[in-house]
Amino acid sequence: MADERHPTGRTATLEAEPETHHDPLTEDPDVHPIGTGVGAAGGGTIGAVIGGAVGGPAGAMIGAAVGGVTGAFAGKGIAESINPAEEDAFWRETHPTRPYAQGRPYEDLRPAYQYGWESRCRYGDCHWDDVKGDLERGWDQARGNAGLGWHEASPAARDAWDRVDQRFRAGTHTPGSDRR
C-alpha cells in the first residue's frame, strides 16, 4: 500500500476507510445531527402548513410528520457532502485567484468561506437570495475575531455557498468530489 500525505500533515494509506461522522451522543457512525435536525425542522414546518391547508388540524399533524422525515433525509444528504478539511484546503489553494481576495491573506477570509459552506448545510434547499438577509444578520456572531464587515465577507461566503450548492444540485454531493 502506498502512503499519501494530506494537507493536515498526517499520512494515510490510499486504501483507507472512508471518513465517517459520528453522532456526538450515541457514537453512531454516519450521523449528521445538525443537517438532519435542520432538514427535519424545515420539512416539518412546510408539511404542517400544507397539511393544515388541505386537511385541517389532522392534516397539519400528518403533514408535519411526513415533512419532518423527508426534510431530515435532505438535511443529512447536504451535511454529508461537506468535509470541512476538504473545503478549507480548497479555499486556501483557490483563494488567491478570487477577485474579492486580492490583497487579503487567506486567514482574513477563512471565516467567511466557512460561514458560507456551513450556512449552505443549515439552510437545506434554500437559495442564497432567499436567506442572504439572515446570513447578514448572523455574520456578527459567526465571524468571531474576524475584522471583516458583511460587505467585505459576503463575496467569499457566497462563493463557498455556491460551491457546495452546485455539487448538491448536480447530484455529486459525495465526499471527495470537491474540485471544480
The 10s digit of each residue's pLDDT in 12-38 is 433 344 445 455 444 555 545 555 455
72, 139: one domain: no
User: Domain check: are 92 and 106 in the same one?
Assistant: yes
Domain boundary among 22, 53, 80: 80
- The burial of 129, by beta-carbon neighbours within 10 Å (0-12 exposed, 13-18 middle, 19 or more buried), is given as exposed
Question: Which cell goes with 88?
Answer: 478549507
Residue 139's domain comprises 83-169
Q: Are 68 and 40 within 8 A, CB to CB?
A: yes
Residue 34: inside a domain = yes
Residue where a domain stops, chosen among 39, 63, 80: 80
Task: Say yes or no: 101 and 74 in one domain.
Answer: no
Give the count of domains, the chain: 2
Say if 39 falls within a structural domain.
yes
Using CA atoms, how far apart are residues 163 and 173, in angstroms rounded to an integer?
10
Say if residue 97 is in the same domain as residue 163.
yes
Q: Where are the beta strands (DSSP E) in the chain?
A: 3-5, 11-13
Identify whether the C-beta of residue 19 lies closer than 8 Å to the C-beta of residue 175. Answer: yes
57, 80, 103 — which closes off a domain?
A: 80
Q: What residues have CB less than 8 Å from 72, skipping those under 6 apart?
A: 36, 37, 39, 40, 43
CA distance 68 to 102: 43
Residue 7 inside a domain? The answer is: no
Burial class (CB in 10 A: 0-12, 13-18, 19+), 113: buried
pLDDT value of position 4: 47
Contact yes or no for 156/113 (Cβ under 8 A): yes
- CB-CB contact of 58 with 20 (8 Å): no
140 shares its domain with 161: yes
- Check whether residue 64 and residue 138 sit in a common domain: no
Same domain flag for 41 and 106: no
Are residue 71 and residue 107 in the same domain, yes or no?
Answer: no
> What gap in Å lies between CA 95 and CA 16, rounded to an integer?
29
- pLDDT tens track for 44-62: 555 555 655 656 666 556 6
Answer yes or no: do 41 and 109 share one domain: no
In a shared domain, residues 71 and 98: no
89 and 63 co-located in one domain: no
The parts of the chain modelled with pLDDT lower than 50 are 1-8, 10-19, 21, 24-26, 31, 36, 40, 70-76, 173-180
Domain annotation covers residue 6 = no
Task: Please tell me the predicted confidence (pLDDT) of residue 45.
Answer: 58
Task: Using a cut of 0.85, tell me whether the model's pTM lies above it.
Answer: no
